[in-house]
């Protein structure tokens, strides 16, 4: 998913969002055979949860349609998707990806860990809110060097928070949000819409469609 001279497709994501998980597969298909660089940017939707997460305050029926749609989309894209009632505190996982992005010399390392963490949570039902699980997965993805110290000290929390603040300044309020060439899309939409997003003329005023 890397490129040199083509458009940059920036995707704000959160591990707590099953639609962000589905967005990985959409992005891979979109970038296949095209000169497109995909940049995953952290957006921690709920940044005040306890480390172990929490049960949502909104009634279950409010979320039921979203869950049904996520499962339908996962099936459409050939993904195994296990949903949970408990909200995930995604900060450790987000910080781990940022650490890989900043410290490794492998340009694909952050993306590799990004995919590993998503698969672990939604496909394999592992708890990526647990530091020991995150460290083990990072080790498996060859991105674990120095990670325990920075996760326990919270070194990258400000970076994750700054990413969200920057996104909000652009008008981003939900994940996944896709930005390219001055335009944007929110969520998982018809595949053709993503083609249009990366093909629009650069320099247009930013607009976000949902």
Task: Report the C-alpha gap between 37 and 14 in whole angstroms.
Answer: 19
Looking at every residue in the chain, the average pLDDT score rounds to 90
- Whether 88 and 128 have beta carbons less than 8 Å apart is answered as yes
Does residue 37 contact residue 7 with C-beta atoms inside 8 Å?
A: yes
Q: How far apart are the first and last CA of the chain?
A: 24
Q: What is the pLDDT of residues 29-63, one digit of tens each?
A: 998 878 889 999 999 999 999 999 998 876 554 56
Q: What is the 3-state secondary structure (H, E, C) of the chain?
A: CCCCCCCEEEEEECCCCHHHHHHHHHHHHHHCCCCCEEEEEECCCCCCCCCCCECCCCCHHHHHHHHHHHHHHHHHCCCCCCCCCCECCCHHHHHHHHHHHHHCCCCCHHHHHHHHHHHHHHHCCCCCCCHHHHHHHHHHCCCCCCHHHHHHHCCCHHHHHHHHHHHHHCCCCCCCEEEECCEEEECCCCHHHHHHHHHCCCCCCCEEEC
CB 29 within 8 A of CB 195: no
Percent of the chain with pLDDT over 90: 77
Local confidence band at 5 (pLDDT 50, 70, 90 cut-offs): low
User: Tell me, what's the pLDDT at 162?
Assistant: 98
What value does the mean pLDDT take over residues 163-168? 98
What domains, with CATH codes, occur in the chain?
Answer: 8-209 (3.40.30.10)
Question: Which residue in 52, 9, 54 sits closest to 30, CA to CA?
Answer: 9
Residue 199 — pLDDT band, cuts 50, 70, 90? confident
Residue 107 has pLDDT above 80, yes or no: no
Tokens of 67: 């869950």
pLDDT band at 64 (very low <50, low <70, confident <90, very high): confident
Residue 203: pLDDT above 50? no
């Amino acid at each position: 998913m890397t490129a040199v001279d083509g458009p940059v497709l920036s995707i704000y994501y959160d591990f707590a969002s099953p639609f962000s998980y589905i967005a990985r597969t959409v992005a891979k298909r979109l970038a296949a055979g095209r000169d497109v660089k995909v940049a995953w940017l952290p957006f921690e939707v709920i940044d005040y949860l306890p480390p172990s997460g929490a049960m949502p305050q909104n009634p279950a029926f409010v979320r039921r349609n979203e869950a049904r749609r996520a499962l339908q989309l996962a099936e459409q894209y050939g993904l195994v998707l296990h949903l949970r009632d408990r909200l995930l505190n995604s900060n450790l996982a987000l910080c781990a990806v940022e650490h890989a992005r900043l410290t490794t010399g492998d340009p694909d390392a952050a993306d590799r860990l990004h995919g590993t963490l998503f698969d672990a949570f939604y496909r394999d039902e592992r708890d990526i809110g647990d530091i020991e699980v995150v460290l083990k997965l990072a080790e498996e993805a060859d991105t674990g060097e120095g990670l325990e110290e920075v996760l326990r000290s919270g070194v990258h929390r400000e970076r994750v928070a700054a990413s969200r603040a920057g996104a909000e300044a652009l008008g981003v309020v939900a994940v996944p949000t896709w930005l390219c060439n001055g335009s944007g899309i929110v969520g998982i939409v018809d595949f053709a819409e993503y083609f249009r997003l990366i093909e629009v003329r650069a320099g247009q005023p930013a607009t976000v469609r949902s």
